[in-house]
């Protein structure tokens, strides 16, 4: 890898984002032993390659409605965003549209697992957007919530409708989903029961209210459900002909062994645990041959012409990746076995061209992607800017850690400046808070945007590097104060040590090379 410190002719004036992006892409290309792939330009219309996003694609939910595909994924933050495109491949470059932002501290944060359904409400059909959320301090208070759309546009606008909970057993609950069976609604979700993360079902009186207690219908029992942790989560209904299934995710998402299992309704009452039969083998799991690991947390959608069933899921590109923002969204068609069960096949390689859903003749675009980077500290050889418990630090553990991976994106407050987004926590940015530098979730406010925007200046100690000047407090730079990473005033009288503490070198990350080394 050739770090940015080898570039000796950076302008003395402020660098724009676009100049920097071009510089980084050039460096990343030089760093590879072989020419980079040319993207998707070799594909014919009506074909595409996975993934649908290169990061931030966990827990995807995708549907086709009224001529467009709509995609939402976990944000980890306080807002929901959705992408819309008339073609599946077009989702790759569709701009995310923020459809909801939450400020209530009891449900403000850690947004996970979106699902949205068009259901009958008191004023006619409405989109009900189910999700998991909790408090800012930790993930111990995660619960399921639902939004209601004003009309029938999946983009909303939405209003908060309520929290879904079992009044007799109100506990940590995630991954809410809806089963429609015999003109009734049932809520599917995941809870802890002793050492087991389990799947429960409860009746619903309307799309936002449970009308009875939950019943556990699946717990980890096979070895393949207990890798890393004993987990059954992310239940989602699948119906075909007269058969009703629940597909769920098993084992810990931080392992490459995250996979899909299958429950089949063999009785007439979905609330009867004995009516669900678990298949003894996983139905979808990692493929070393195809370089796809930890495939899971899935959804389903139909092709535009209604003839094909499609699976959407997230997966990782390396065995070392886990439950973070490096998971990407994938989609592929599936068929049905002679016994009526779904046949999902194996996860498709990102190098393989896939025929688009029937009726979709879109052209796979070649999105302009900004490479992931690390910021090497000028003051400490081998040390990198990284986050730990959402505080920013400079340390030696960052060299191979996802906590030191960032993306340089257009400034939230000013696109001529930049913002620095975490790769493993998409939607979280380098942010100054009372002059401390932290990693925090985007909250949609003007103040947040200004405090998370930076001018990239030539390095104060070495102009082949860069320094981060605060957009909201000009003249203050990311540096070191009393041993902590904080905003620091740096004038012409600043010492050489102070200048070095505020200087970093940009190192683009070649994930293909790193993945090969890790595996």
- Residues 346 and 390 placed together within one structural domain of the fold: no
- Residues 346 and 311 placed together within one structural domain of the fold: yes
Name the helix (H) or strand (E) containing 134: strand 124-134
Catalytic residue of the set 196, 233, 498, 500: 233
Look at residue 148 and tell me if it is in a domain. yes
- Residues 378 and 343 placed together within one structural domain of the fold: no
Exposure string of 284-296, with b = 16+ CB inside 10 Å and e = fewer, is bbbbeebbbbbbb
The count of domains in the chain is: 2
Look at residue 283 and tell me if it is in a domain. yes
- Residues 302 and 252 placed together within one structural domain of the fold: yes
Would you call 415 a catalytic residue per the annotation? no
- Within the chain, how many helices (H) and strands (E) appear? 4, 35
- Residues 316 and 221 placed together within one structural domain of the fold: yes
- Residues 351 and 377 placed together within one structural domain of the fold: no
Check which CATH number belongs to the domain holding 126 and give it: 2.115.10.20
Would you call 288 a catalytic residue per the annotation? no
Look at residue 19 and tell me if it is in a domain. no
Look at residue 517 and tell me if it is in a domain. no
Exposure string of 479-507, with b = 16+ CB inside 10 Å and e = fewer, is bbeeeebbbbebeeebeeebbbbbbbbbb
- What are the pLDDT tens digits along the chain (519 aa)? 223 333 223 333 444 554 555 555 454 444 444 333 434 457 888 999 999 998 899 999 999 999 999 999 999 989 999 999 999 999 999 989 999 999 999 999 999 999 999 999 999 999 999 999 999 889 999 999 999 999 999 999 999 999 999 999 999 999 999 999 999 999 999 999 999 999 999 999 999 999 999 999 999 999 999 999 999 999 999 999 999 999 999 999 999 999 999 999 999 999 999 999 999 999 999 999 999 999 999 999 999 999 999 999 999 999 989 898 899 999 999 999 999 999 999 999 999 999 999 999 998 887 666 688 999 999 999 999 999 888 899 988 766 788 999 999 999 999 999 999 998 888 899 999 999 999 998 888 899 999 999 999 999 999 999 999 999 999 999 999 888 999 999 888 889 999 999 999 999 886 554 444 444
Check which CATH number belongs to the domain holding 393 and give it: 2.80.10.50
Q: What gap in Å lies between CA 62 and CA 67, rounded to an integer?
A: 13
- The residue among 409, 412, 411, 432 whose CA lies nearest residue 421 is 409
- Residues 104 and 212 placed together within one structural domain of the fold: yes
Segments forming the whole domain that contains residue 385: 372-508
Look at residue 314 and tell me if it is in a domain. yes
- Residues 431 and 305 placed together within one structural domain of the fold: no
């Amino acid at each position: 890898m050739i770090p940015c410190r080898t570039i000796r002719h950076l302008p003395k004036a402020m660098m724009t984002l676009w100049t920097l992006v071009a510089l980084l892409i050039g460096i990343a290309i030089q760093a590879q032993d072989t020419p980079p792939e040319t993207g998707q330009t070799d594909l014919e219309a009506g074909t595409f390659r996975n993934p649908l996003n290169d990061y931030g694609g966990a827990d995807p939910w995708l549907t086709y409605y009224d001529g467009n595909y709509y995609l939402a994924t976990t944000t980890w933050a306080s807002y929901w965003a959705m992408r819309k495109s008339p073609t599946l491949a077009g989702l790759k470059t569709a701009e995310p549209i923020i459809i909801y932002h939450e400020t209530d501290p009891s449900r403000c944060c850690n947004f996970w697992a979106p699902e949205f359904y068009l259901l009958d409400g008191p004023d006619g059909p409405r989109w009900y957007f189910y999700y998991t959320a909790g408090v800012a301090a930790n993930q111990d208070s995660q619960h399921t919530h639902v939004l209601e759309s004003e009309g029938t546009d999946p983009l909303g606008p939405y209003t908060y409708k309520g929290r879904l909970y079992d009044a007799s057993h109100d506990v940590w609950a995630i991954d809410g989903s809806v089963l429609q069976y015999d003109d009734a609604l049932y809520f599917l979700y995941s809870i802890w029961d002793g050492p087991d993360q389990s799947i429960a079902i409860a009746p619903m009186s309307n799309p936002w209210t449970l009308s009875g207690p939950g019943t556990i219908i699946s717990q980890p029992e096979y070895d393949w459900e207990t890798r890393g942790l004993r987990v059954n989560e992310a239940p989602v209904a699948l119906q075909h002909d007269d058969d009703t299934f629940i597909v769920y995710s098993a084992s810990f998402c931080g392992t490459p062994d995250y996979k899909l299992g299958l429950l089949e309704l063999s009785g007439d009452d979905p609330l009867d645990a004995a009516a669900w039969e678990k298949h003894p083998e996983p139905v979808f799991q990692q493929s070393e041959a195809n370089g796809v690991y930890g495939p899971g947390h899935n959804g389903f959608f139909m092709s535009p012409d209604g003839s094909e069933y499609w699976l959407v899921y997230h997966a990782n590109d390396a065995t070392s990746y886990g439950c973070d923002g490096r998971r990407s969204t994938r989609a592929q068609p599936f068929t049905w076995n002679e016994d009526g069960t779904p046949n999902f096949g194996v996860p498709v390689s990102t190098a393989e061209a896939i025929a688009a859903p029937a009726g979709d003749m879109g052209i796979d675009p070649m999105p302009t992607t900004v490479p992931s980077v690390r910021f090497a500290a000028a003051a400490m050889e081998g040390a990198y800017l990284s986050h730990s418990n959402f505080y920013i630090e400079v340390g030696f553990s960052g060299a191979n850690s996802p906590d030191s991976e960032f993306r340089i994106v257009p400034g939230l407050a000013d696109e001529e400046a930049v913002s620095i987004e975490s790769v493993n926590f998409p939607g979280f940015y380098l942010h100054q808070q009372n002059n401390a530098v932290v990693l925090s979730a985007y909250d949609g406010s003007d103040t947040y945007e200004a405090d998370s925007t930076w001018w990239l200046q030539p390095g104060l100690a070495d102009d082949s590097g860069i320094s981060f000047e605060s957009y909201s407090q000009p003249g203050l730079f990311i540096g070191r104060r009393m041993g902590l990473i904080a905003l620091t005033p740096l004038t012409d009288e600043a010492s050489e040590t102070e200048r070095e503490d505020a200087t970093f070198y940009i190192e683009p990350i070649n994930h293909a090379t790193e993945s090969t080394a890790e595996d």
